[in-house]
Structure 1
């Protein structure tokens, strides 16, 4: 059993799994602080989680869902809906990035998290397909092949994912995946966290040109959320559980004709520690 003691005031049953949806942060108080938080995306995420927990749990009638069979606690932000109307789908572009944060070195974990993450996005946004899907492996190179095979299934067979990308790949990692015979769909994007420098390595630029890969600047931290930060936020809102984040999804909805972001949110999935 997970080591936790849920206050009777909240009446939250003991749970093993957590899923939290921040909702559209563009329509919450987080948006007003976006400029101050733009340099550290993990700070934006932590602020969004805190804001969601406050809005959902710190109220006379807390908003959460408990799925007994899965021992799953869902915390949705009910203040704003992110669903895209079917008649608007062709007018917007949906991009998403999955940050793999799992502590266990299980090569199949990332593949299962990708399936789960895509299902969460489909549920939250009300769409069948994601236009661009990027994975941050957090430096776990041993997880790439099984995860990429899952991405290829969703791209080729189900047409659920459009462009596929990676984050923070070095030139060596990029060359490795491009030359891997088991990889049939090559990445078309590589996000690079360049820190304070705005210049891409010349060798990386040449490699990207040869394989038609977009090189995009990236300010995200690979370790976007850790056990201590997530658990501290939960305790702050009277959920006394130690939760290890397994993955985080960051998504954007762009309005094509105006080139503006109409929706931005996070999905956090974690497991309690015994």
Structure 2
């Protein structure tokens, strides 16, 4: 059953908190990332509904998770915060989209900066988005990331699931060069040799991953929230303790808008 938000609610931000501490998730092993985020959102919404804290007349609804995303006992200098930002197929046109997302996560983590941010934009499985079209979609968001790197809120950044030609063009044209490129081995069995060579020559960190191309598709949004809500973005945060390489925290922040 979809949550009962007030009629005035237009913007929704959900903080799952540290999902590593959610017993409900621990019991559900073998989930992929899409299943994990859907379950995390449902757990967060269930906790929110039981607290009856929906304020009528408020167009901005912020829902927090059960567990803090960051343990206050850990010193910031000992931590590495990595973000991956997932944009939907039709990402909203907003010159401050990256900035607003960073405002939310840095406030949640009580930190002035994050170590890395990787940007991934979904695409329809039946519509290959290649070459100039993919580059055209990414460049406005990369310019926003460049501003955040220059301001010091992001120390390094990169992109995910991009073809070699588009990545080379993005890197060539960028004022601040992407230092990371991620390739999904589920859709690309072998890392393209040309991309390997370019990454090595330009000191770009080449990584592989198995995240879904479309992390939170439209049908999942409708199932959870009901009709009338569209996904703006999802931020996945991972906090590692540097000296031990231990994953101390993992969580999601999801932004949705009423249409």
TMscore range, shorter length: 0.7 to 0.9
After superposition, the Cα gap between the structure-2 partners of 1:201 and 1:30, relative to the gap in structure 1 and judged at 3 Å, is farther
CA RMSD of aligned residues (A): 2.4
Query: What is the CA distance between 1:130 and its match in structure 2?
Result: 0.6
Match of 1:252 among 238, 244, 247: 238
Q: Look up the match of 1:72.
A: 60
Match of 1:175 among 147, 151, 168: 168
Q: Distance in 2 between matches of 1:34 and 1:252?
A: 20
- Asked whether the 8 Å contact 2:6–2:57 carries over to 1, the reply is no
1:42 and 2:34 are equivalent in the alignment: yes
Equivalent runs, 1:147-166 vs 2, <5 Å: 147-156=141-150, 158-166=151-159
Q: Look up the match of 1:130.
A: 114
Q: Distance in 1 between matches of 2:43 and 2:73?
A: 29
Equivalences, count? 248
- Asked whether the 8 Å contact 1:102–1:245 carries over to 2, the reply is no
SS at match of 2:23: coil
Q: Look up the match of 1:26.
A: 20
Query: What is the CA distance between 1:170 and its match in structure 2?
Result: 1.1
After superposition, the Cα gap between the structure-2 partners of 1:21 and 1:175, relative to the gap in structure 1 and judged at 3 Å, is same
Q: Look up the match of 2:130.
A: none
Match of 1:117 among 77, 83, 101: 101
- Asked whether the 8 Å contact 1:41–1:221 carries over to 2, the reply is yes
Query: What is the CA distance between 1:137 and its match in structure 2?
Result: 2.6
Moved over 3 A (4+): 63-67, 83-87, 196-199
SS at match of 2:6: coil
Residues 76-119 of structure 1 deviation map (CA, whole Å, 9 limit, x = unaligned): 11x2112454861001100001111163674xx3x422111101
- Asked whether the 8 Å contact 2:146–2:176 carries over to 1, the reply is yes
Q: Distance in 1 between matches of 2:56 and 2:192?
A: 48
TM-score, normalised via structure 1 length? 0.82
Match of 2:201 among 210, 218, 237: 210
1:56 and 2:48 are equivalent in the alignment: yes
- Asked whether the 8 Å contact 1:42–1:221 carries over to 2, the reply is yes
TM-score, normalised via structure 2 length? 0.87
- Asked whether the 8 Å contact 2:19–2:250 carries over to 1, the reply is yes
